[in-house]
Amino acid sequence: DGGITQSPKYLFRKEGQNVTLSCEQNLNHDAMYWYRQDPGQGLRLIYYSQIVNDFQKGDIAEGYSVSREKKESFPLTVTSAQKNPTAFYLCASSIIPNTYNEQFFGPGTRLTVL
C-alpha cells in the first residue's frame, strides 16, 4: 500500500528533552512538509523540503530541526528550545513539479510535554 506513515502515534517528552518524530512515504513524492496543529486551530508550517539534502524554514521553525537524507524520509526533531511543544504534528507530501501542490497527510503524532 502506498502512503505516509508517522511514528510514534503518541509521544511524551520531559522538560529539556529532545525528541524525534518519524515520517516515511512510499508515494515517490519529491516534497515533504511538517505542520503543527493546536486545538481549534488550523495547520502551521514548520519546515518543508522539495529535494533531498535541502529544506526550508516555514512560519514557526524556531525550536525544531529536520533532515532529508533520503527521498522517502523527513524526520522532525523537537528540541528543548521549543517552549510549548505540546501539539498534534502532521507530516505531508506532494509531487513536484506540480503547479497545484496537492498535499496528502500522514496519520500524525500527538506530542505531550510532561
Partner 1 sequence: QKEVEQNSGPLSVPEGAIASLNCTYSDRGSQSFFWYRQYSGKSPELIMSIYSNGDKEDGRFTAQLNKASQYVSLLIRDSQPSDSATYLCASTSGSARQLTFGSGTQLTVLP
CB-wise, 17 or 38, nearer to partner 1?
38
Q: Does 43 bind partner 1 (CB under 8 A)?
A: yes
* Nearest-angstrom CA–CA distance, 94 and 17: 31
Cell numbers standing for residue 6: 508517522
Q: Cis ω on the peptide bond leading into residue 39 (within 30° of 0)?
A: no
Selected from 48, 55, 64, 74, the binder of partner 1 by CB under 8 A is 48
Q: Residue 74 carries which side chain, given as an amino acid letter?
A: F
Q: Site for partner 1 (CB under 8 A): how many residues?
A: 23
Residues that bind partner 1 (CB under 8 A): 33, 40-45, 48, 50, 56, 58, 90, 98-108
